Structure 1
């Protein structure tokens, strides 16, 4: 497993340096000294490798957001702002995550993983706002909580595409957009 960890680390570095198009299993084999024949049983193509890395980053991002749920806030709007900042900080600290999660899906497995991540984060969001006694009327059809998350991710994708990072200005716009959308469902507001 140490060899695969070496390959995964090298893949993240290569994604950052040359992008997904130029990242390849043969180049990773050459860079790491791990034979291609040892890589292919785990990752038969680079997209399987990308999916694995994307899932790893989705799990880490979900854990970071779950920790932010535990932080006390007075208002759901404050929590939205904090969650967006946690997400932006994660993306900015992990450029490979930005490439894999913000630039797009590379395969059907990636798209399914994104849908799963968004549903899990939507559930997390619902639980947080319920604990604050807010946004009690968020419908599940359509899934308003997940749509709100998609709005935030769209802002971050735009920021990453135009600036190569998720800037504080983009975080503010993401917060404003999500609050405006979800605010229409706020029975207390």
Structure 2
């Protein structure tokens, strides 16, 4: 597990709004292309303001007018790239998914773990650390998804995590897990179900929740050990 300073440093470096992905999302929807630096800066400000508001006032009270007020970006410019607040939530969610994956993969390089049960608990501990250090990520990822696009992104995130874990666990003594159904993907779902339960009841991913999540995942995977 990363120590607190390492985790905070990585969290800070990964928590900035990912402007390029926001621009790609806008292009995918067929909106105008923000080719000028001023447009990019406006989008970054709007996303950063939206993320702050998600934490400060909650999802329900966030609105495009409030984002306009907090970011000083005209709502017409915001609407050019995001049709409603849920499109912004989806963009922020997808950005945090990418940061979370980068964080976990950096924290657990190939060859670090030699025993899969130890790795389960270590990955869960660092996952909890990421969410607890990023309040917006907890709200957006442990409460979402917010749209069909966001739902697909959540599924893709879990599938990517499962593929990476399958390789890592094979090196740590747990190989040949069934792929149909995907046992590792189901294990990821079990872990996040526990984390979501903990967040909804305690507002954070506590040590107790991580302990229960670890026991649930280990008990499930032990069938094929």
User: Same fold by TM (over 0.5)?
Assistant: yes
Q: CA deviation at 1:104?
A: 2.2
Q: 2:107 aligns with which of 48, 58, 68?
A: 68
Q: 2:87 aligns with which of 48, 67, 83?
A: 48
| 1:35-184 paired onto structure 2 within 5 Å | 35-70=74-109, 72-132=112-172, 134-184=173-223
Partner of 2:44: 5
What root-mean-square deviation, in Å, do the aligned CA atoms of Structure 1 and Structure 2 show?
A: 1.1
Distance 1:63 1:56 in 2: 11
Q: TM-score, normalised by structure 2?
A: 0.80
- 1:19 equivalenced with 2:52 (yes/no): no
Hey, which bits of structure 1, 4+ residues long, moved more than 2 A? none
What residue ranges of structure 2 are gaps of 5+ in the alignment? Answer: 1-39
> Is the contact made by 1:10 and 1:31 (CA closer than 8 Å) also made in structure 2?
yes
SS for the counterpart of 1:20 is: coil
Distance 2:206 2:86 in 1: 28
> Is the contact made by 1:151 and 1:177 (CA closer than 8 Å) also made in structure 2?
yes
What residue ranges of structure 1 are gaps of 5+ in the alignment? Answer: none
Distance 2:168 2:195 in 1: 22
Q: CA deviation at 1:56?
A: 0.6
Distance 1:9 1:31 in 2: 9
Count matched residues: 185
CA deviation map 1:68-113 (0-9, x unaligned):
3316122011111111111101100111111111012110011000
Distance 2:163 2:67 in 1: 37
SS for the counterpart of 1:47 is: helix
Distance 1:4 1:129 in 2: 40
> Is the contact made by 1:68 and 1:82 (CA closer than 8 Å) also made in structure 2?
no
Distance 1:184 1:65 in 2: 25
Distance 1:82 1:76 in 2: 10
